[in-house]
Amino acid sequence: MSKIFITGAAGNVGSALIDTLPDKAAVVAGVHGPDKAERLAASGVEARVYDFADKASMVAAMAGCDRLFLSVPMDEKMARFGRLAVDAAKEAGIGYIVRLSGYGASSDAHWRLGREQGMIDQFVEDSKIPFTVLRANSFMQNFSTVLAPMVRSGALILPEEAYKVSYIDVRDIAACAARLFNDNEGYTNAFYALTGPRGLTLGDVAAIIAEGAGIALEYAPVDEDAYIAALDAAGVSEWNRNMLVSLSRVIKLGMMGNVTQAVEYLTGTPARTFEGFVLEHADAWR
């Protein structure tokens, strides 16, 4: 049977992709610990433990799979992890890769996180394995997960001023990947920039969440130094802090607010709205 190996299967996009793919018997979920593997196995999904730092473990985890969904965590060694994953895919006999990258990524990007993501994209392209790269903008789900405590505090304290981001729902990313795994004819060796249907400022985001969830929320812009101090106080590593700061700088260059129609082009369905996302996730903030 043809099988898909999904890296980061317990994460936002990986779990959404598992939910989207109709044939769970064709899925092999890649996870980083036995506890996650047990939870997925209990839901009827085959799960295998692997380590991005250990190519042999990835080769073993990919055994018997012919397709790969490649998402690499934001980590100081992410470019090396990506290189090892691509090498493992070649050794395991993977015949097609859907690579989840970041919006605006490029191996020669002037901003650090975009360059790190772009380097992995380049490894995929250089592998000669047929591929499709999905360069997705920031996730709507960030507001219902990592930023949920900040939302519940009543203020979005971030340094993005009045610049826009075309946030995307991870379920739309998953739908694009699922479509490609089902039929990628005409879509291989290509790059797609995935966005939501419109650009939103954090003021817009705060107003939409406040109305949809029935809570008090405002955007309280801060300068970069205060943002860095807050990240340091929260124990964020220096490398991750620098990546987040680089992302905020790119947003303030007006580079993240553009809108594409790639989700609808790949799936036939328009990208989900932020208003709809908020109504579905209101309990996360109450």
SS3 assignment, position 175:
helix
pLDDT of residue 37: 87
Q: Which residues are within 8 A (CB) of 225 and not within 5 positions of it... i.e. 6 or more apart? A: none
pLDDT tens-digit series, residues 53-80: 999 999 999 999 999 999 999 999 999 9
The pLDDT assigned to 136 comes to 98
In tens, the pLDDT along 177-214 reads 999 999 999 999 999 999 999 999 999 999 999 999 99
* Helix (H/G/I), strand (E/B), else coil: 5: strand
Average pLDDT, the chain: 96
Give the pLDDT of residue 112.
Answer: 87
Q: What integer pLDDT is reported at residue 41 of this predicted model?
A: 87
pLDDT of residue 189: 98
Gap between the Cα atoms of 166 and 277, Å rounded: 13
Domain over 4-136+168-195+258-271 is classified CATH 1.20.120.140: no
Q: Which two tokens stand for residue 86?
A: 């691509």
Distance CA(193)–CA(184), nearest Å, equals 16
What number is the average pLDDT over the span 210-238? 95
Dihedrals phi, psi of 139, to nearest 5 degrees: -80, 135
pLDDT digits (tens, 9 = 90+) for 63-122: 999 999 999 999 999 999 999 999 999 999 999 999 999 999 999 888 889 999 999 999
- Find how far residue 226's CA is from the centre of its chain: 26
**Residues of the chain with pLDDT > 70: what percent?**
100
**CA torsion 4→90→134→164, rounded to 10°?**
120
Q: How many whole angstroms separate alpha carbon 15 and alpha carbon 34?
A: 16
Average pLDDT estimate for 18-44: 92
Q: Say if residue 1's pLDDT is above 80.
A: no
Question: Which pLDDT score is estimated for 166?
Answer: 98
pLDDT of residue 110: 86
Average pLDDT on 231-235 reads: 93
